[in-house]
Amino acid sequence: MTSRELVVLWVAILSSFVAFLDGSIVNVALPAIAADLGGGLVTQQWVLDGYLLTLGSLILVAGALSDAHGRVRVLRAGLLLFGTASLLCAAAPSGPVLVAARLFQGAAAALLVPSSLALITSAFEEEPRARAIGLWTGWTGTAFIVGPVLGGVLVDTIGWRWVFGINVVPIAATMLLLLRLHDPARGSTEAHIDVPGALLAALGLAGTVYALIMQGTLGWASPLVLAPFAAGLACLAGFIWWQARATHPMMPLGLFRIRNFGIGNLATASIYAGLSLGLFMIPIFLQEVAGFSALAAGLATIPLTIMSLSFSTLFGTLAGKHGPRLFMGLGPFLGGCGFLLMLTSREPLDYWWQILPGVVLFGLGLSITVAPLTAAVLGSIAAERSGIGSAINNAVARVAGLVAVATTGTIVGATLDYGSFHRVLVVTAALLFAGAAISAIGIRNLPAPGPHVAPEAAAACHDRNVNGGPKP
């Protein structure tokens, strides 16, 4: 590996690490944020969904921006914007200001992962590229282990604001390394950015998510809920209409006519809605109801992350030999059973017997699911379309998580207690079971060997694979 390739690899690792770290560190800080800034569950929903809203809306166009303006330039801009947004989050004097900063931060995060992978793709030849992406996957995966623990320590010692402020450290290191890199001269390839599609998607998601969150306090009869909900649905319908007619759509609808791609994304929506809902609520419940510290709540779900990182490759290999259908049906089913096991939780909570067994079973189910799901979706389309295919699948997972978290208030009701926590567990399990049924019925095992999946396309799904849903 040349010195330039080594710099490129570390730039890619650090820039993605900061985005992945933020995605795994914030959840444990949500109760402390609400306690300080007020707003209860609604504030916690917006802190998470504000980030996911802009991230999910813009991630499909981030690759085109990178192609149009250069990988290094876009990555540098993304890091500067992400660092600025992180400081604004850390200094936020109120809930609305924090949510606005999180919207800004999500938009910046959309530039980081696609640009870092594109940087590796452009700097490495095909054979060393696979090894480089493997190293990128391994190193960035540590963010999902470090995040909850570091977040818990920061919240319990110096305060929740440092959960955002800590981002400055890896960003500063990455910016120093970026001084050694420059974009090559622009080629003749023209990049197309679907601006109308991005705007319609963002407005559609904003209107529907706002209504889903605010109806808990204002009610569906309020014009302040009905109007944005109707406008959001209209924009989403307009988005689909535009994608069917645009010359260069950000989400080519023709891909969904391919059976495993369409069914795989439908399963992705159900599975990641469940994962996002469950993983959003567990740390909040453990702190606000069971009385855990932020660190203890962060440690509570570490086993599932370790299992996912440890066993995903194994089950990906098995799925390559036997086809993804069995694993995509079995994995979400076991994950749903894991959430149902947590229904044994009673006051006083015994984590070791009432929560941990469910977390472990859920982690096993997640390990069985993620690699076969990626292989089924990306292996069903031509290799030259795997980049847009992975971007769509990533966006589907994020948007599903965004909507699921927005419905939390409806499921929980007026008070978070053991009863409302159990309702969340049941809904989460139902979503996972639905994903298992969709996969078992709809997925087909393709004849081997299937289409080659570019390593960078599979890696683009890495953050949502190991972290379950609300990520950058």
Model pLDDT for residues 182-222, shown as the tens digit of each residue: 876 554 455 677 889 889 988 999 999 999 998 888 888 89
Task: Give the start-to-end residue ranges of the domains of the chain.
Answer: 1-180, 195-249, 254-472
User: Within 10 A of 356 (CB to CB), how many other CB atoms are there?
Assistant: 16
Question: What integer pLDDT is reported at residue 454 of this predicted model?
Answer: 60
**Cβ distance 118 to 63 under 8 Å?**
yes
Question: What integer pLDDT is reported at residue 327 of this predicted model?
Answer: 93
**Amino acid of residue 232:** G
Q: Between residues 173 and 394, which one has the greater pLDDT?
A: 173
Share of the chain above pLDDT 90, in %: 51
Assign a CATH topology to domain 254-472. Answer: Growth Hormone; Chain: A; (1.20.1250)
Q: Between residues 375 and 78, which one has the greater pLDDT?
A: 78
Question: What integer pLDDT is reported at residue 188 of this predicted model?
Answer: 44
Share of the chain above pLDDT 70, in %: 90
Note the pTM of the prediction, 2 decimals: 0.86
**Amino acid of residue 425:** L
Q: How confident is the model at residue 470 (pLDDT cuts 50, 70, 90)?
A: very low
Question: What integer pLDDT is reported at residue 383 of this predicted model?
Answer: 67
Question: Could you give the residue ranges of the DSSP H alpha helices within 26-94?
Answer: 30-37, 40-69, 71-91
Q: Between residues 269 and 307, which one has the greater pLDDT?
A: 269
The first and second tokens of residue 383, run together, are: 């290799």
Question: What integer pLDDT is reported at residue 275 of this predicted model?
Answer: 92
Q: How confident is the model at residue 24 (pLDDT cuts 50, 70, 90)?
A: confident
Q: How confident is the model at residue 277 (pLDDT cuts 50, 70, 90)?
A: very high
Q: How many residues does the chain have?
A: 472
How far apart are the C-alpha atoms of 277 and 426, rounded to whole Å?
Answer: 11
72-76, 90-94, 119-123: segment of lowest average pLDDT: 119-123
Location of structure tokens 């909040």: 284
Mean pLDDT for the stretch of residues 252-269: 93
Question: What integer pLDDT is reported at residue 296 of this predicted model?
Answer: 94
How far apart are the C-alpha atoms of 21 and 440, rounded to whole Å?
Answer: 33
Question: What integer pLDDT is reported at residue 152 of this predicted model?
Answer: 93
Closest to 330 measured CA to CA, from 362, 368, 376, 273: 368
154 Cβ contact list (under 8 Å, min separation 6): 25, 29, 160, 162, 163, 166
User: Within 10 A of 331 (CB to CB), how many other CB atoms are there?
Assistant: 28
The first and second tokens of residue 362, run together, are: 């859920």
* Host H or E run for residue 302: helix 302-322
The CATH code of domain 1-180 reads 1.20.1250.20
Location of structure tokens 């950058």: 472
**How far is CA 53 from each of CA 47, 253, 255, rounded to the nearest angstrom?**
10, 21, 24
**Cβ distance 29 to 164 under 8 Å?**
no
Question: What integer pLDDT is reported at residue 448 of this predicted model?
Answer: 55
Closest to 334 measured CA to CA, from 310, 315, 351, 348: 315
4-13, 204-213, 401-410: segment of lowest average pLDDT: 4-13
**Cβ distance 367 to 310 under 8 Å?**
yes
Mean pLDDT for the stretch of residues 337-356: 96
Our separate counts of H helices and E strands in the chain read: 23, 0
Question: What integer pLDDT is reported at residue 471 of this predicted model?
Answer: 41
